[in-house]
Amino acid sequence: MEQAANEFAGRLLVPVERLQQFYDEFAVQFDAKLPHWRSYEGVRSAFADSVAVKFGVNAQVIEVRLDREGIWLAT
């Protein structure tokens, strides 16, 4: 039951459409500069830190949403 509540809260606080939009905007900027940026250590965390502020949550919530929604899986 707790897991279901956490999933509901995560989706409520971080709507997948908005998270995907932020990711897409980020990806467009970095694709042109660094072709393999997704594999660089720390980039995913930096993205989560910057986006977390916009949603009013901590970065861990963003990283969980990225994984659960299949937007940017942790390696």
Per-residue pLDDT tens for 19-46?
999 999 999 999 988 888 988 989 999 9
CA distance 2 to 49: 25
- Asked if residue 19 is part of any domain, the answer here is yes
pLDDT for 14: 95
Please indicate, yes or no, if residue 39 is contained in any of the structural domains: yes
* 27 inside domain: yes
pLDDT at 5: 66
Count of domains in the chain? 1
- Please check whether residue 11 lies inside any domain of the structure: yes
Is residue 74 a part of any domain in this protein?
no
Indicate the average pLDDT of the chain: 90
CA dist 61 and 6 (Å) reads 10
Domain holding 19, by residue range, is 2-68
Q: Give Cα separations from 75 to 47, 59, 65 (angstroms).
A: 15, 17, 15
Q: Within a domain: residue 75?
A: no
pLDDT bucket at 17, cuts 50 / 70 / 90: very high
- Is the pTM higher than 0.85? The answer reads yes
Residues shown for the chain:
75
Structural element, H or E, at residue 25: helix 16-33
Query: Does 73 map to a domain?
Result: no
